[in-house]
Structure 1
Amino acid sequence: MEDKMIKIINKFFKRATAICMVSAITAVCLAGCSKETDNSNKTYIDLKSYFKLNGYVSGEENIPAATDDEYAVVIDGMLKSTRAKKINTGYYMDIECVNDYFNSGIYWDSNEEISLYTLPAEEIKISAGDKSYTMGGTTYEFDESIIVKQGTVTYILLDYVVDFTAMDYSVCENGANRISINTEYCEKQYVKAVKNLKMRDGENPSKEILTDITAETELYYVKDGETPEWVYVRTLDGIWGYVEKNKISEVYTNTVTTDFKEIIYPSISKDFEICLGWHQMESTSGNDSLKGLIKDAGSLNVVSPTWMKISDAGGGITSLVSESYVKTAHKNNLEVWALISDFNSDENGSYYINQVLPYSSKRKILVNNIINEIKKCGADGVNIDFEMISSSTADDFIQFLREMSLECRKEGIVLSVDNYAPTGGNSYYNREAQGKVVDYFIIMGYDEHWAGCGKAGSVASLPFVENGIKNTIAAVPAEKVINAVPFFTRVWMETPEALTDGTQVIIEDPIYGNYALSSKAVGLKSALNLVEKNKAAKTWLESLGQYYGEYKDDEGITYRIWLEEEESMTKKLELMDKYQIAGMAAWKLGLEYDDIWDVIDNFID
């Protein structure tokens, strides 16, 4: 019996030992499978395919294989769909891509085939074929042309771009032609290869090889792998992959720096809060009305008369400028920022502004005409009120502002520009680019609902105004931003369908009946008088920050008015203080009443 028990126990321990040995062998095998061995995959990934140089499909578009002179473009480690080009000994990119990726200030005039770069004190002009440029009296030479046109594409030399952009680049022609561009100057994490190794397309030696890494090569550290033996890294020339952890150094940090100094456009900043009033006029007789408009406007310190208009497709303007007007304003401690508008169009309804801006020679004429009129009358500044810019001329508009800023800076003229409250539909106005070159950026904080919008509503509700300010200062320095308030509102009229003549657009309303909607703009006092005259109750709308009045006439037409008065104005001006912006403006002088100025006086220092 005892011998039998001993046999059973020995059998058990032999089985347990066998199981432990198998487990140990399995563990060693598993560990060994995640490390490089003689049996590791020796296949290399085709780097031309990796960098999409062999052609590929993008959506419904077939991108052809790269020619020998085309290079993949890697920006901050990310492969881009565009390609660079080697022309003779120079490396080039499509100027549109340079604008999108690096520097929107390098302007290309495709009509006159010149490139312009407008600096704070001068402008650099490059024509196709030029191999040099002059800046600050010094000429800078290149071995190759700065601008090269090939078919429909305009290429620009990267060495020229580097002179004006915080970027550097390197060229790699090993395995696949590519240009690696860095624009990130900050603290970065690295590892260094301590011995020769292979970068693989996964955390396993069975994965294909991306590239060979020699000892002492620096790599960007991305993250630890999911298995402890591997680390995810990126080469300096844009290859992402895994390397064995035991063949690299510990992670260390370096700060990547650049000698490039960002170009700053100096701006005029007044030592007082701006309180601007627009003075609308259509003829020279309007100049005589200034005294009457400003007699009760105690806080007003800038007046902007609507003097100039673009008058043709060549950059010509009409002007009502008046030296005596400026003298009267100055005697009353007012600066004059003369306005120029873009509402004129040709017989086909095409606005002249969009025919002028795409041509550098026409812009130059326009800029000179404006500056000459300002100097002729002695005005202190100019107010650019271009509201008809199309998305196709948006870049040309920004270039116009750069050129205006250059000339205004030379003459000490204040440059201000009017803008719609930000919405997705007008983002092409590029507020950030405007804010870099202008002295003051004015939000037209009204027309939330306008004559043709198809819906009755407030001209400037408090949320609309606040969102306009918040979204603007996200792109433009607050100390440059002025918010314009309305000295007007709209009387909305809903005419029952039975009373219409059949020509109006009918709005369907299953509850109250169909109607035609129309409106008219009225001054602040006129709106209050209408509400009082028709005995309409004023209801305070907390969510909108204003009063609302509604009444019907004897014919059954419904009138709706979102009022602007002392309380709503106070709410709007409180936002000026809340967001620490440069001041306020108002459209337009003559539509307000005296008590409004008492409110404004409380906010303008």
Structure 2
Amino acid sequence: MRVGHNRNRSENRNRNRRSLAIPKNPKVRIAGIALVVIFIFGIILAIHKYAPTKEKMSLTDYFVQTEENESSVILNGEYYEVPEATNVYALVQNGTTYLSLGFIKANLDDGYVYDDTENILRYTTDTDVISVNLGETNYTVNKDTASMDQPIIIYENDMAYLSVDFVKLYTDITYYTVENPNRIVVETAGWEKTVATVKRDTELRRFGGNKSKILATVSKGDSVIVMENYGKWSLVLSEDGVLGCIKNSKLRDKTKEETEATLEKREYSHISMDETINMAWFQVTNSSANSGLSEYLSNTNGLNVLSPTWFYLSDNAGGVGDYGSLEAVTLCHQQGIQVWGLLSNLVVDDVDTTAVLNTTSARDNLINNILAKAIAYDLDGINIDLETISANAADGYVEFIRELSLKCEKNDLILSVDNYVPTASSAYYNRSAQADYADYCVIMAYDEHYSGSEEAGSVSSIDFVKNGVKDTLEEVPADQIILALPFYTRLWKTTDDSVTCTSMGMQEASEYLIKNDIETAWDDETGQYYAEFEQDGSTYSIWMEDNKSLDLKLQVFEDNKLAGVSFWKLGFEPSSIWDTIAKYTN
């Protein structure tokens, strides 16, 4: 029995060996081997597809730099790559990092004004004027001198660069620098950011995904700033100034933070009148014209500010010509009327306003000269009326207002600045900067259609006034706005394709219509009486200014609680208009 049992067991083992043997058929054998190879290759592909890549991207490939001493800039978590044919944004010289003036003005602080003729930088705070010469380590704050270890301004490739340490004195930023490659990481005060902690050592990748190249590594406990969340990945800024992507599963403790201010908030002070301003301009084209002031004033009611057009730019060195009169000032003061002398650039055609404003010495002369005139004539204020300024003079113009305002305040002089209604073409007048420094900003809500316009139209329609006020309020507080309205209109003559006009005061225009028996009709769209008639083959049209039209405009002043009103110009108006004005200003 035992022998038979062992024999059966042996036969079973032999049968099992035969069942496990590789088929002797060659085709079947090859197919089996191919299946095994395919299976193994599939596993390799899967590993290659899903396993994180270890391939690295050099930071010198990420931070593209074209200059040997260039530094890349990361501002508020954003890498500012320099476009082609553009000066680099930052340089490192003797261990000091410098930011280009263009980058500073565009992204940090527009207050730095560089004169590339005299190589002087100016910056004005709420109390001080700072001045720096190219290449120097010293600088002045008003009349005091201070210094830094390295030159404050360097000049390379036709661009001024400012030491970041100097910028930090006046622009509220924090920063740190990193080498290999050079980069500076800047944060502005008040920047809101999301900060997180890294859970464990991991990589920062160029893009989200395991197959993206590795830019850098971060360690457990490192702090990163989360810039964008892509779902499973986030773009973060590391402590050593690298922007890369990290898995969200590797982050913890996300919190909202705000970059702290390091500078005290500036407090801009203004001199204000205690009553509603009721101002008129008194046009003076020669000294003898002052003799007519008494008659003009006797026609008014409630006027409390007179702005005579006495002063003008007389040369490119900042000279000021004048038609002033102490007698006229005395006359006004006796009647309780303040005098704000007007400075214009409309008298001497040869004066290059851009050159005067952009050249530091000429601008200084202009400020000192107009102040000397104000003091000599015992003025209460200065009214600046610099018109048709070139965009190239924008920096110099605003710096002129800033520096003049500080000196006006020291001399107890009110500073007002005349402005067009806001348009894209006049944005560089920078009304918001004016509002910080000047006491009042005047909206010249007229010349909607002017001499030289291609079509006839209203000088000051009601919507033009409303929109001018609305747009100015976006930049200037209501209690600093003076709404200037016209005491004049224009008679338009259209012949075929030719359009010309004649300016007329309110009184003259009214008398013209009566004399020529011309009827008017009220136009709701413009808020004015309108007349049109044919004569000698031409079409004449006129949009009248009268008590009713000005009343509508004065309602805009009242509705917006503005500081006051002004009118161009004294002598153009009928005496009855002052009763209408008084309803809103008394």
Query: TM-score normalised by the shorter chain: which range applies?
Result: 0.7 to 0.9
The equivalent of 1:447 in structure 2 is: 447
Deviation of 1:377 (Å):
1.1
The equivalent of 1:88 in structure 2 is: 94
* Residues 89, 144 of structure 1: 8 Å contact kept: no
- The CA distance in 2 between the partners of 1:440 and 1:419, in whole Å, is 11
- The CA distance in 1 between the partners of 2:533 and 2:98, in whole Å, is 67
The equivalent of 2:576 in structure 1 is: 595
The equivalent of 2:400 in structure 1 is: 400
- The CA distance in 2 between the partners of 1:196 and 1:34, in whole Å, is 22
The equivalent of 2:370 in structure 1 is: 370
Deviation of 1:296 (Å):
3.4
Matches within 5 A, 1:179-198: 179-198=184-203
Deviation of 1:104 (Å):
2.1
* Residues 310, 341 of structure 1: 8 Å contact kept: yes
- The CA distance in 2 between the partners of 1:222 and 1:89, in whole Å, is 29
Deviation of 1:177 (Å):
1.8
| Corresponding letter in the other structure for 2:62 | Y
- The CA distance in 2 between the partners of 1:219 and 1:277, in whole Å, is 60
* Residues 76, 182 of structure 1: 8 Å contact kept: yes
Paired residue for 2:513, among 516, 522, 531?
531
The equivalent of 2:379 in structure 1 is: 379
Structure with bigger gyration radius: 2
- The CA distance in 2 between the partners of 1:317 and 1:203, in whole Å, is 64
Q: Which runs of 5+ in 2 are unaligned?
A: 1-42, 83-87
The equivalent of 1:390 in structure 2 is: 390
Deviations 1:57-88 (A, max 9, x none): xxxxxxxx231x11111211222224311110
Deviation of 1:151 (Å):
4.9
1:411–1:195: structure 2 CA closer, same or farther, 3 Å change rule? same
Q: Does 1:574 align with 2:555?
A: yes
Q: Does 1:328 align with 2:327?
A: no
Deviation of 1:439 (Å):
0.9
Q: Which runs of 5+ in 1 are unaligned?
A: 1-28, 54-64, 498-506, 508-515
- The CA distance in 1 between the partners of 2:494 and 2:113, in whole Å, is 49
SS at match of 1:518: strand
SS at match of 2:71: strand
1:237–1:286: structure 2 CA closer, same or farther, 3 Å change rule? farther
| Corresponding letter in the other structure for 1:358 | N
The equivalent of 1:204 in structure 2 is: 209
Q: Does 1:130 align with 2:155?
A: no
- The CA distance in 1 between the partners of 2:62 and 2:558, in whole Å, is 55
Tell which deviates more after alignment, 458-467 or 254-263: 254-263
- The CA distance in 1 between the partners of 2:555 and 2:134, in whole Å, is 53
SS at match of 2:234: strand
Deviation of 1:236 (Å):
5.2
- The CA distance in 2 between the partners of 1:236 and 1:431, in whole Å, is 39
* Residues 223, 232 of structure 1: 8 Å contact kept: yes
Q: Percent of pairs identical after alignment?
A: 33
Matches within 5 A, 1:472-551: 472-495=472-495, 497=496, 507=497, 516-551=498-533
* Residues 189, 262 of structure 2: 8 Å contact kept: no
| Corresponding letter in the other structure for 1:458 | S
| Corresponding letter in the other structure for 2:420 | Y
1:187–1:353: structure 2 CA closer, same or farther, 3 Å change rule? closer
The equivalent of 1:311 in structure 2 is: 314
* Residues 405, 438 of structure 2: 8 Å contact kept: yes
The equivalent of 1:19 in structure 2 is: none
The equivalent of 2:290 in structure 1 is: 287
The equivalent of 2:21 in structure 1 is: none
Deviations 1:374-420 (A, max 9, x none): 11110101111111321111211111112211221111111111111
* Residues 444, 483 of structure 2: 8 Å contact kept: yes
1:109–1:409: structure 2 CA closer, same or farther, 3 Å change rule? same
| Corresponding letter in the other structure for 1:282 | T
Deviation of 1:434 (Å):
1.7
Paired residue for 1:269, among 269, 272, 276?
272
What is the root-mean-square deviation of aligned Cα atoms in Å? Answer: 2.3
| Corresponding letter in the other structure for 2:119 | E
SS at match of 1:329: helix
Q: Does 1:109 align with 2:115?
A: yes
Q: Does 1:218 align with 2:219?
A: no
| Corresponding letter in the other structure for 2:316 | A
| Corresponding letter in the other structure for 1:533 | K
SS at match of 1:602: helix
| Corresponding letter in the other structure for 1:364 | D
| Corresponding letter in the other structure for 1:428 | Y
Deviation of 1:237 (Å):
5.8
The equivalent of 1:24 in structure 2 is: none
Deviations 1:127-167 (A, max 9, x none): 12322335488754422111122352222111000000011
- The CA distance in 2 between the partners of 1:308 and 1:33, in whole Å, is 83
- The CA distance in 2 between the partners of 1:104 and 1:254, in whole Å, is 26
SS at match of 1:249: strand
1:238–1:351: structure 2 CA closer, same or farther, 3 Å change rule? farther
The equivalent of 1:7 in structure 2 is: none
* Residues 302, 337 of structure 1: 8 Å contact kept: yes
* Residues 180, 236 of structure 1: 8 Å contact kept: no
Matches within 5 A, 1:59-74: 65-67=66-68, 69-74=69-74
- The CA distance in 2 between the partners of 1:241 and 1:152, in whole Å, is 34
- The CA distance in 1 between the partners of 2:490 and 2:551, in whole Å, is 19
Tell which deviates more after alignment, 159-168 or 289-298: 289-298
Deviation of 1:108 (Å):
1.4
Paired residue for 2:106, among 92, 97, 100?
100
Deviation of 1:242 (Å):
2.7
Q: How many residues are aligned here?
A: 536
